[in-house]
């Protein structure tokens, strides 16, 4: 699986607010079944454009992420399983 992760990719949790990025790979194995299902339902998928918009006030958790035309709040832990590549 690791071979898929391009060396330039970072976890979505590491991305600076307002940085547009494209999802390169999602580490489904790091998520339990329900969480993985929810992420898919919210439209997280390889190749989709995302952008972190807001951070929770305590411990910078959760993270509000724009996915397509939707904004979704996810916990930092889950964001870490989403590997993205910033769009320049």
Partner 1 sequence: MNPLPLVAVAGNPNAGKSALFNALTGARQKVGNYPGVTVERKAGRLVLADGRPIELVDLPGSYSLDPASPDEAVTRDVLLGRQKGERQPDALVIVLDASNLDNHLRFALQLIELGLPTIVALNMVDLAKRDGLELDPAALERELGVPVIETVAVRRRGIAELQAAIDDMLSSPRCGVHKHVKSDLVHLQRRAREIATAAVVSETPVRRWTHRLDAVLLHPLFGPLILAAIMFVMFQAVFAWSAAPMAWIGDAVAWFSGVVSNAMPPGLLRSLVVDGAIAGVGAVITFLPQILVLFFFILLLEGTGYMVRAAFLMDRLMHGVGLSGRAFIPLLSSFACAVPGIMATRTIDDPKDRLTTILVAPLMTCSARLPVYTLIIAAFIPNTRLTWGVGLQGLVMFGLYVSGIGGALLAALVLRRGVLKGSSGGFMMELPKYQWPPLKDVVIGILTRAQIFLKRAGTIILGTTIILWALASIPQAGPGQKQSEVSIAGHIATGIETVVRPIGFNHDIALALLPAMAAREVAVSAIATVYSIDSPDERAGATRLVDNLRHRWSLPTALAFLAWFVFAPQCISTIAVTRRETNGWKWPLFMVTYLFVLAYLAAGATYWIAVAAGL
Distance of alpha carbon 53 from alpha carbon 72, whole angstroms:
10
Cβ pair 78, 63 in contact under 8 A: no
**Structure token digits, residue 22:** 């494209």
Identity of the residue, 8 or 73, whose beta carbon is nearer to partner 1 in the bound complex: 73
CB of 27 to partner 1, least distance (A): 15
**Structure token digits, residue 51:** 């952008």
CB of 68 to partner 1, least distance (A): 5
Identity of the residue, 3 or 57, whose beta carbon is nearer to partner 1 in the bound complex: 57
Identity of the residue, 5 or 42, whose beta carbon is nearer to partner 1 in the bound complex: 42
Residues near partner 1 (CB under 8 A): 32, 34-35, 37-43, 45, 53-59, 61-62, 64, 67-75, 77-78
Cβ pair 79, 63 in contact under 8 A: yes
């Amino acid at each position: 699986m690791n071979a898929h992760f391009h060396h330039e990719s970072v976890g979505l949790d590491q991305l600076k607010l307002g940085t547009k990025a494209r999802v390169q790979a999602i580490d489904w194995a790091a998520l339990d079944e329900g969480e993985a299902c929810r992420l898919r339902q919210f439209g997280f998928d390889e190749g989709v454009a995302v952008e972190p918009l807001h951070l929770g006030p305590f411990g910078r958790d959760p993270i509000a992420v724009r996915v397509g035309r939707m904004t979704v709040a996810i916990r930092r832990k889950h964001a870490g399983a989403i590997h993205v590549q910033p769009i320049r």
